[in-house]
């Protein structure tokens, strides 16, 4: 997208070169055929008062539009020079509230239809107004459609009259109070004092100051966030970094127009100062978020459903069996359940807090971000192999709940930490809305959502621990428990196999080999240090030291070596292009339907959807008939561009599926795809 924008700006800059560099006394070169302009006066001038002039623009057809003073990502504002008597001074032009036009991901600030820009002129107190020379001037501007732009200019001659009452009513009035602004890393925060009872419509902040210092500029097309407390409205506008080094300081003031919807708005001037956000409640944001209680229930239900996932269910099952084997001690059962819950909730809350902290520091990350780190994948592989060996009975960890040997408070707490950590990549289909909202709400509310997820994950074992009737329904202890435990090694072994495949995907064969060496060595060391039976303990411990040394050397080489190059893209029947914002913009200008999907090799839901709905011959044939352009964003490894795009879509992570009809905006598809959903979309006529 940056390359596309850069090219467009270069073309506009070249176009600007053909416009007059000096506006005074210029002759007309292009004319105003597409958007005609005339200079009008609101009555005769009065000494010592402000005389209001108007530039009235009238397009030849509705397809032409003009621009605000800050045109946005593309376009050009108006350049005006007036031949005024000596001592008379023209003020800053006053504009109506602009409209938004987004083309290929670029936002323009425009005016469609006829509009007027007012120009206040200060008339000196001693001015001789009876016999002033005719007022003339020169104006240059740009007229555009959705496809082409042409320069326009006109020689102005002042005429009396005009619909000043209507024109004045459309000008955004100046806010009486001074607003404040501050820049927090990659966001512009503007605090605007507004009466608490003022009704707000479709809010948008049109930033007039395009240069915010240090190479920062507003990201006009990004989603803006609005929060409100009492008489203060706070707007947050994402920023982008321009190319090249720019040492310019922050501007003294930031100006703009706050649109309140339906053509209404306010002009503001904000000075640099702290803009507090403590205690404010969300008003508008990247997603229309439901009430907090709805999100908390969704997070709780999502955590509850996580217990049936293959990486969590074996742990929960053996926890329950360990509790049953421990006997009917009520106090021990409750203490064990609380310890497990504390571990789960602490892990979820800590992971959520880390995400919120890193995002507030400007990092573009989402849920399950830890699986994008190759060394974390290697550590999880080591852990999964060790748990699989434990389930097979190859070693025992005294007191650890998943050993099946009985309940243990410390072991239950550690098991809870483990269950929450390995469950994170499985949350997508169950709680996408809650997690997406958690990343845009106030930190305290986002933290509450992550905590609710942990409570939901721990809830089954918490109920077993506190309700004797549930414990009585558990199967009676017996030899079958050891067989069941060994069967639970199967899903954990499949989890280890999936992690090995992921290590290969993120770093290639050499990284997989490096990851397997310490993983297998740790498993062997545990089997020798913690044997299932006490026979030959000393010899096995001696061998354990050898395996432990191998594990340390393997882990050290893994850290020093780091991951290699990631393997190439998996072949798809849709033959997608790799996602980038530039590729998406180009695809959307083609006049064809566009399907974009974001996936990751560690995302279980993504892989299920791909097998069920995406990687199908029926889908490929339907896409070919409709000439659909497919783009795939691979988020297996950290990708800041994809992370930023997901954030703008209000998504906490993957999967994310977007469908664009020709000329239309993004339609976000469900996170669980049905087999015929994409086929049906491709068959719909373009709108």
Per residue in 533-557, pLDDT (tens digit) is 444 444 454 454 444 454 455 555 5
pLDDT at 280 over 50: no
Hey, how many other C-beta atoms are within 10 angstroms of the C-beta on 481?
A: 17
Taking all residues of the chain, what is their mean pLDDT, rounded to a whole number? 77
Structural domain count, the chain: 4
Angle at CA of residue 272, ends 267 and 273, nearest 5°: 115
- Model pLDDT, residue 284: 45
Cα–Cα distance, 250 to 273 (Å, whole number): 11
pLDDT at 573 over 80: yes
**Are β-strands 656-660 and 666-668 bridged in parallel, bridged antiparallel, or unpaired?**
antiparallel
Residue 569 inside a domain? The answer is no
Structure tokens at 482: 């050891």
DSSP states along 324-388: HHT-S-HHHHHHHHHHHHHHHHHHHHHHHHHHHHHHHTT----TTGGGGSHHHHHHHHHHHHHHH
Higher pLDDT, 150 or 490: 150
Of the pLDDT bands very low, low, confident and very high (cuts 50, 70, 90), residue 283 is very low
* CATH for 239: 2.60.40
Per residue in 597-648, pLDDT (tens digit) is 998 877 767 887 888 899 999 999 999 999 999 999 988 777 778 877 877 6
Least trusted range by pLDDT, from 6-15, 364-373, 473-482, 661-670: 6-15
Closest-CA residue to 320 (of 406, 388, 421, 383)? 406
Higher pLDDT, 255 or 520: 255
Of the pLDDT bands very low, low, confident and very high (cuts 50, 70, 90), residue 24 is very low
- Model pLDDT, residue 245: 56
Whether residue 508 has a cis bond before it, omega within 30° of 0: no
* CATH for 667: 3.40.30.10
Residue 567 inside a domain? The answer is no
* CATH for 52: 2.60.40.1250
pLDDT at 427 over 60: no
HEC profile for 631-680? EEEECCCCCHHHHHHHHHCCCCCCCEEEEECCCCCEEECCCCCCCCHHHH
342 and 470 housed in the same domain: yes
Q: pTM for the whole thing?
A: 0.47
Residue at which a domain ends, from 284, 310, 325: 284
Cα–Cα distance, 483 to 490 (Å, whole number): 12
- Model pLDDT, residue 46: 92
Total residue length of the chain: 687
Of the pLDDT bands very low, low, confident and very high (cuts 50, 70, 90), residue 415 is confident
486 and 539 housed in the same domain: yes
Task: Judge contact between 29 and 20, C-beta under 8 A.
Answer: yes
Closest-CA residue to 34 (of 188, 175, 149)? 149
153 and 227 housed in the same domain: no
680 by Cβ neighbours in 10 Å (0-12 / 13-18 / 19+) ranks as exposed
Three-state DSSP class for residue 203: coil
Residue 7 inside a domain? The answer is yes
Cα–Cα distance, 370 to 423 (Å, whole number): 12
261 and 122 housed in the same domain: no
Higher pLDDT, 542 or 346: 346
**Are β-strands 253-261 and 264-272 bridged in parallel, bridged antiparallel, or unpaired?**
antiparallel
Higher pLDDT, 565 or 149: 149
b/e per residue 550-575 (b: at least 16 CB within 10 A): bbeebbeebeeeebeebeeeeeeebe
Residue 105 inside a domain? The answer is yes
Residue 568 inside a domain? The answer is no
325 and 350 housed in the same domain: yes
Cα–Cα distance, 487 to 481 (Å, whole number): 10
Cα–Cα distance, 602 to 498 (Å, whole number): 8
163 and 37 housed in the same domain: yes
544 and 439 housed in the same domain: yes
Cα–Cα distance, 187 to 329 (Å, whole number): 55
598 and 666 housed in the same domain: yes
Residues 6+ apart with CB under 8 A from 478: none
pLDDT at 150 over 80: yes
Residue at which a domain ends, from 526, 561, 596: 561
200 and 152 housed in the same domain: no
Higher pLDDT, 564 or 492: 492
Residue 637 inside a domain? The answer is yes
What's the whole-number mean pLDDT along residues 512-526?
70
> What percent of the chain lies above the pLDDT cut of 70?
70
- Model pLDDT, residue 358: 64
355 and 393 housed in the same domain: yes
> What percent of the chain lies above the pLDDT cut of 90?
24
pLDDT at 58 over 90: yes
Residue 571 inside a domain? The answer is no
Residue 196 inside a domain? The answer is yes
Residues 6+ apart with CB under 8 A from 199: none
pLDDT at 357 over 70: yes
- Model pLDDT, residue 489: 73
Cα 196 from chain centroid (whole Å) = 29
Q: How far is CA 617 from CA 137, 333, 634, 676, 683, in A?
A: 66, 53, 22, 11, 15
pLDDT at 120 over 90: yes
Higher pLDDT, 376 or 459: 459
Closest-CA residue to 558 (of 514, 611, 522)? 514
Three-state DSSP class for residue 528: helix
pLDDT at 50 over 80: yes
Higher pLDDT, 362 or 575: 575
Residue at which a domain ends, from 170, 188, 211: 170
Per residue in 196-233, pLDDT (tens digit) is 878 888 889 999 998 888 788 899 988 888 887 778 88
Structure tokens at 280: 């404010």
Cα–Cα distance, 669 to 288 (Å, whole number): 16
Per residue in 383-413, pLDDT (tens digit) is 777 777 777 777 666 544 444 444 456 667 8
pLDDT at 434 over 60: no
Of the pLDDT bands very low, low, confident and very high (cuts 50, 70, 90), residue 348 is confident
- Model pLDDT, residue 439: 57
84 and 150 housed in the same domain: yes
614 and 677 housed in the same domain: yes
Domain containing 201: what range? Answer: 179-284
What's the whole-number mean pLDDT along residues 290-311?
75
Higher pLDDT, 627 or 381: 627
């Amino acid at each position: 997208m940056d390359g596309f924008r850069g090219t467009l700006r270069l073309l506009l800059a070249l176009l600007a070169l053909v416009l007059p560099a000096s506006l005074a006394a210029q002759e007309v070169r292009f004319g105003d055929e597409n958007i005609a302009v005339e200079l009008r006066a609101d009555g005769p001038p009065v000494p010592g008062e402000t005389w209001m002039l108007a530039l009235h623009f009238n397009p030849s057809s509705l397809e032409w539009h003009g621009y605000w003073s800050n045109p946005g990502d593309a376009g050009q504002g108006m350049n005006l020079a007036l031949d005024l008597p000596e001592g008379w001074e023209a003020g800053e032009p006053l504009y109506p509230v602009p409209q938004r036009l987004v083309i290929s991901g670029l936002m323009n600030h425009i005016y469609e239809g006829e509009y007027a820009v007012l120009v206040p002129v200060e008339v000196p107190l001693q001015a001789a107004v009876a016999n002033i020379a005719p007022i003339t001037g020169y104006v240059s501007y740009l007229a555009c459609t959705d496809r082409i732009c042409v320069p326009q200019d006109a020689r102005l001659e002042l005429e009396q009259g005009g619909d000043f009452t209507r024109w004045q009513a459309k000008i955004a009035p100046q806010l009486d109070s001074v607003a404040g602004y501050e820049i927090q890393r990659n966001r512009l925060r503007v605090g605007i004092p507004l009466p608490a009872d003022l009704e707000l419509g479709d809010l948008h902040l049109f930033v007039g100051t395009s240069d915010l210092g240090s190479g920062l500029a507003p990201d006009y097309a990004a989603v803006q966030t609005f929060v409100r407390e009492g008489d203060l409205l706070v707007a947050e506008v994402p920023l982008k970094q321009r190319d090249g080094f720019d040492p310019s300081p922050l501007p003294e003031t930031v100006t703009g127009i706050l649109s309140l919807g339906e053509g209404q708005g306010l002009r503001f001037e904000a000075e640099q100062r702290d803009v507090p956000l403590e205690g404010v409640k969300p008003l508008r944001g990247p997603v229309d978020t439901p009430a907090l209680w709805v999100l908390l229930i969704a997070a709780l239900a999502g955590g509850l459903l996580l217990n049936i996932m293959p990486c969590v269910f074996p742990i929960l099952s053996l926890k329950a069996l360990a509790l049953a084997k421990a006997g009917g001690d009520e106090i021990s059962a409750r203490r064990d359940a609380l310890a497990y819950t504390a571990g789960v909730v602490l892990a979820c809350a800590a992971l959520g807090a880390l995400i919120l902290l890193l995002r507030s520091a400007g990092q573009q990350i989402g849920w399950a971000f830890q699986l994008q780190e190759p060394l974390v994948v290697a550590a999880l592989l080591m852990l999964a192999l060790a748990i699989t060996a434990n389930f097979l009975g190859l070693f025992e960890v005294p007191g650890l709940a998943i050993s099946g040997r009985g309940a243990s408070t410390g072991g239950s707490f550690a098991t809870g930490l483990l269950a929450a950590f390995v469950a994170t990549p499985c949350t997508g289909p169950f709680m996408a809305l809650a997690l997406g909202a958690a990343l845009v709400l106030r930190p305290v509310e986002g933290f509450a959502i992550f905590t609710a997820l942990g409570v939901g994950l721990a809830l089954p074992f918490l109920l077993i621990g506190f309700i004797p009737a549930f414990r009585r329904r558990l199967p009676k202890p017996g030899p079958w428990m050891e067989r069941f435990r060994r069967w639970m090694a199967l899903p954990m072994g499949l989890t280890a196999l999936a992690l090995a495949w992921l290590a290969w995907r993120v770093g290639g064969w050499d990284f997989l080999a490096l990851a397997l060496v310490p993983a297998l060595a740790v498993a062997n060391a545990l089997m020798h240090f913690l044997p299932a039976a006490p026979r030959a303990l000393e010899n096995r411990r001696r061998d354990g030291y050898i395996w432990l040394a191998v594990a340390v050397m393997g882990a050290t080489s893994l850290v020093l070596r780091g991951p290699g190059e990631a393997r190439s893209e998996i072949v798809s029947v849709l033959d997608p292009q790799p996602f980038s914002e530039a590729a998406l913009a180009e695809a959307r200008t083609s006049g064809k339907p566009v399907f974009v999907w974001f996936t990751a090799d560690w995302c279980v839901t993504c892989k299920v959807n791909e097998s069920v709905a995406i990687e199908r011959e029926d889908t490929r044939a339907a896409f070919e008939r409709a000439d659909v352009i497919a783009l795939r964003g691979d988020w297996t490894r950290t990708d800041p561009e994809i992370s930023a795009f997901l954030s703008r879509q209000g998504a906490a992570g993957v999967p994310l599926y977007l469908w664009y009809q020709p000329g239309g905006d993004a339609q976000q598809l469900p996170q669980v795809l049905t087999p015929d959903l994409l086929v049906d979309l491709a068959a719909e006529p373009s709108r």
